[in-house]
Amino acid sequence: MPRRIVIIGAHAAGVDAASAARKTDRTAEITLITKQKKAGYSPCAIPFVLGRHIPSFNELVVFSPAYYRMMKLDLRLEATVTSISTDAKTVEIEDKTGKRERLEYDSLIITTGAYPFVPPIKGREKRGVYVLRTIDDGEKIDKAIKDAKTSVVVGAGLIGLETAVAFVERGLKTTVVELLPYVLPLMLDEDMAKVVHGMLEKKGMRVIVKHAADEILGTEKATGVSVAGERIPADIVVVATGIRANTELAKNAGITIGETRGIKTNMRMGTSVKNVYAAGDCAQSVSLVTHRPLLSQLGTTAVRQAKVAGINAAGGYAVFPGCLGSAVTRLFDTEIGATGLTEFMAGRAGMKTIAGTITSKTRPEYYPGGLPIKVKLVVEKDTERLIGAQIIGGEEVTQRINALSFAIQKQMTVRELAKADTCYAPPLNETWEPMVLAAEIAIRKL
């Protein structure tokens, strides 16, 4: 009898888990279930549709219906899993017509993702107040932009800032409100965040930090936001204050939830229940630096976890050792990237650190077109190991972050990094690679 694999969720983690399972077991019966109208699309790209870098939301669908047919995957759209019975090894589903069905499984993979967290801001229920998580959310905001002149984004994380940039690019007078002392607090330390803050304001965006949104103003529809006694006009309000792991189904099924509020998993992405796996934004992972539990809600983490979960669910063997939370973005014409720990997060983990920071250019002074780049390396004082990096620049940020991610994974010391054999050509890079210069500055501090 063929192995029956049921996957709850059909986006980055769900579809990659299904693909890995199919490649491992060619005969398995694989069912994917999602509440949404579309499966296998990239939610990370939604702000870039709003900013018109991508022409339409349809472009975000990575896997066409033909893909599921080719891979012999049973895709159930607009269907909701109402419960899981790990004793009976069944899931109960309900489709959009209200029809109920019970599916049996041999292996279950939970990729239920996350939901937007909306703090208890007075007036958050008004029309004109949005979150941004799905294509449906994006389409609603896109429609609202056409009649809007002003916007407020609450939250200065990745999605918040990418959305705010899109609003500015569409001609809206835009304000970002962040409760914490600086923007991108999960990616950057305050010294690097100030560079981004200054750049955003030069581009015409207003950024308010160290203040919460006290109230969303208006009668039935939002007309503004009250911040520290100031009334900021807003035809559109987007609340981008982070996401929370969607673990309700797992919790109700008796599956253990970890200290990060994600589903607790082992290195095989197995949960506390045999033959039940989890991956993606709902699943807890481990930091490769601190070796402590971590919730890395990034697309790159999701697909790597999903591949491991899919292989194991189909009878193979694979492990996911953990992650660094490597992330990049582009805001206007500035690239921002980070990997590993910030100084702040290292301090919270009880690690003593020093940092090496350098501002350089991507090409020699004599070659036209070079752009500024700022590199910060975070080094553990006792071991001299590289444990984190942050880069802000006009180009070539992603591959430098990737290189530094490799260095951290291989437990490279800052002295070893300073001896790296890097390349040079006038149209492409300086003679002295900025990462190496930052390492040398860190060594002087040591």
AA identity, residue 91: V
Residue 218 DSSP class? S
Burial class (CB in 10 A: 0-12, 13-18, 19+), 42: middle
Residue 44 known to be catalytic? yes
Q: Are residues 248 and 106 in the same domain?
A: yes
Distance in angstroms (rounded) separating the CA atoms of residues 349 and 434:
28
Longest dimension (CA), the chain: 71
Is residue 278 within 8 A of residue 267, CB to CB? The reply is: no
Q: Are residues 103 and 32 in the same domain?
A: yes
Position 157 scores a pLDDT of 97
**Geometric angle at alpha carbon 40, from 55 and 103, rounded to 5°:** 150
Count of domains for the chain: 3
Is residue 167 situated within a structural domain? yes
Owning domain of residue 143: 118-241
| CA distances from residue 155 to 116, 158, 180, 183 in whole angstroms, order as listed | 12, 9, 9, 8
- State both tokens at 425: 């050509």
Is residue 237 within 8 A of residue 258, CB to CB? The reply is: no
Q: Write the pLDDT tens digit of every residue in 299-344.
A: 999 999 999 999 999 999 999 999 999 999 999 999 999 999 999 9
**Geometric angle at alpha carbon 231, from 225 and 234, rounded to 5°:** 45
Q: Are residues 81 and 187 in the same domain?
A: no
Q: Write the pLDDT tens digit of every residue in 156-187.
A: 999 999 999 999 999 999 999 999 999 999 99
| CA distances from residue 433 to 137, 298, 300, 358 in whole angstroms, order as listed | 42, 28, 27, 11
- Report strand pairing: 107-110 vs 276-278: parallel
Q: Write the pLDDT tens digit of every residue in 265-279.
A: 999 999 999 999 999
Position 43 scores a pLDDT of 92
Instruction: Name the helix (H) or strand (E) containing 334.
Output: strand 334-340
Is residue 364 within 8 A of residue 376, CB to CB? The reply is: no
Q: Are residues 237 and 285 in the same domain?
A: no
Is residue 398 situated within a structural domain? yes
Position 204 scores a pLDDT of 97
Identify the residue whose tokens are 């002392």. 181
Position 357 scores a pLDDT of 98
- State both tokens at 152: 């407020």
- State both tokens at 162: 């990418």
Q: Are residues 17 and 100 in the same domain?
A: yes
421: left (phi over 0), alpha (psi -120 to 50) or beta: beta
Q: Residues 44, 282, 323, 423: which is the catalytic one?
A: 44
Q: Are residues 370 and 408 in the same domain?
A: yes
Q: pTM for the complete prediction?
A: 0.94
The residue among 241, 266, 286 that closes a domain is 241
Is residue 275 within 8 A of residue 241, CB to CB? The reply is: no
